[in-house]
Amino acid sequence: WIATVDNIDWPSKKDLSPAEQKAELIALLDRAAKLKLNAVIFQVRPQCDALYASQFEPWSEFLTGQMGKAPTPFYDPLAFVITEAHKRGLELHAWFNPYRAKAKSKFELSRDHLGKKRPEIVKEYGGYLWLDPGEPDAAKHSLAVFNDVVKRYDVDGIHIDDYFYPYPVENKDKTGEVPFPDDAS
């Protein structure tokens, strides 16, 4: 698993050049091949953003330090990692977070993020933003994102993370949980 959210595994920092990002990916894939793994699961959508060229969601801030900003010079990390994984005999699976729209961080949403374009299907809960899975338009959007990747990239599989609903948040007086704001849906 190569986690991109919060720069956990890749890229190691938000301000790396594309050449440095590519070198880090190659090192991860070389290690996977040396360990005789047969697949790598690469997080392509950590929070309604993309680590690939998407018509549906903005570039990830974890890639360039600014949501909506493409790598310069331009390259498509998903296309790159697929090619490099296949060269090493590794399958490349795309890993999606279907409903997390913004993790706890200080960055600003770009104007093309779903939280700005469709705020009615995004809910704040526990310091995060979430797509409301009960909203048909939220589910349709996530499905369109998955289908886009499957149709345009030579991925060997897709993985949908466990963030269908957020983990419970305790209320201020610590006497119970704050309900997720999905009563309407």
pLDDT, one tens digit per residue, over 46-103 is 999 999 999 999 999 999 999 999 999 999 999 999 999 999 999 999 999 998 999 8
| HEC readout, the chain | CECCHHHCCCCCCCCCCHHHHHHHHHHHHHHHHHCCCCEEEEEEECCCCECCCCCCCCECHHHHCCCCCCCCCCCCHHHHHHHHHHHCCCEEEEEECCCEEECCCCCCCCCCCHHHHCHHHEEEECCEEEECCCCHHHHHHHHHHHHHHHHHCCCCEEEECCCCCCCCEECCCCCCEECCCCCCC
**Range 152-165 average pLDDT:** 87
pTM: 0.93
